[in-house]
Amino acid sequence: MNVMLRRARAVRRPSVNVGGALLSATDVSISYGDYRALDAVSLRVEAGELVALVGPNGAGKSTLLNVLAGDRRPDSGSVELDGAPIGSWTHRELAMRRAVLLQRVGVSFPFTVEQIVRMGRAPWVATLSEELDDAIVERAMVDAEIDAFAGRAYPSLSIGEQARAAFARVLAQDTSLLLLDEPTAALDVRHQERVLAVARERAAEGRATVVVMHDLGAAAAYADRIVVLERGEVRASGPPDAVMTPELLSAVWRHPIDVVRHDGTGQLVVVARRTSGVVPGTIST
């Protein structure tokens, strides 16, 4: 590990005490005409934890993430970031405190991967943190495993590689709060695990991470707390052992779901029951 990368790792300090409130939403509601996207949702995110937002399609996960990011003002309710109303921060101040990874990141110009990642440093121009740009960008690319093609044009990458470059840009923003909307959707198994492990590591450094996820097994493995949304409401919130029950998951997803423990690791394994329609032993050749 080179000197600059060691320096980037060494400068990480919690912005607030681990266990302290970093982000909170109180009775947040959003409607689109007669459709209630969020209904009196309350959520507290503490420094040092990874919170997974899960739920069926249309449950309100991405809408809630947009509200938590300050990108969507709720019809009612409030959101506080770092102890102040989220609307009281300027755009730059917000960008210094929270980084947002959207589901889709469109870049048509032939920027290199490194240039894309460096865009995450924009909020820190003309600050004392600017001198750490090189080290922080390098760490972000290493953590996202894109350092090997830092010089390649972003449009030449595969969809999965582009997703990892976008993740690295968010890491390079170097904020105390990460808001990630389905960051593993386009990734292979190895890089799904890598992204979630890095998100978990950043939380352990004293930051907080909120992740929208569809993979219930991964949520159970990596999250400190899981928030289950259903039709715009919080159906359950708590540690994986308390929330990931077959009864709750089957009811919310309206499909039989089993939850078991892995024999070797003891981790929760979430499995949807599948019926192929083919009775074993009846296939002829």
Cα Rg of the chain (Å, integer): 20
Determine the pLDDT at residue 280: 53
Burial class (CB in 10 A: 0-12, 13-18, 19+), 180: buried
Dihedral sign for Cα 187, 60, 175, 15, please.
negative
pLDDT single digits (tens) 221-252? 999 999 999 999 999 999 999 999 999 999 99
pLDDT above 50 (res 54): yes
In this prediction, residues 104-122 reach a mean pLDDT of 87
Helix and strand element counts for the chain (H, E):
10, 12
Mean pLDDT of the chain: 90
In this prediction, residues 80-86 reach a mean pLDDT of 95
Rounded Cα–Cα distance for residues 162 and 156 (Å):
9
Q: Is 213 within 8 Å of 54 (Cβ atoms)?
A: yes
pLDDT above 60 (res 1): no
To the question of pTM greater than 0.95 for the whole model, the response is: no
Determine the pLDDT at residue 13: 38
pLDDT single digits (tens) 200-209? 999 999 999 9
Taken in order of first residue, the domains within the chain and their CATH numbers are 3-19+47-65+91-245 (3.40.50.300)
* DSSP bridge pairs for 29: 76
Determine the pLDDT at residue 213: 96
In this prediction, residues 100-128 reach a mean pLDDT of 89
Q: What is the percent of the chain with per-residue pLDDT over 70, rounded to a whole number?
A: 88
Q: Is 111 within 8 Å of 134 (Cβ atoms)?
A: no
Lookup: tokens for 64:
């809630």
pLDDT above 90 (res 105): no
- Give the number of other CB atoms < 10 A from CB of residue 20: 15
DSSP for 88-155, written as a single string: GS-HHHHHHHEEEE-S-----S--BHHHHHHGGGGGGTTSGGGGGHHHHHHHHHHHTT-GGGTTSBGG
pLDDT single digits (tens) 17-49? 445 679 999 999 999 999 999 999 999 999 999
pLDDT above 50 (res 106): yes
pLDDT range class, residue 282, cuts 50, 70, 90: very low
pLDDT above 70 (res 283): no
pLDDT single digits (tens) 164-197? 999 999 999 999 999 999 999 999 999 999 999 9
Rounded Cα–Cα distance for residues 89 and 86 (Å):
6
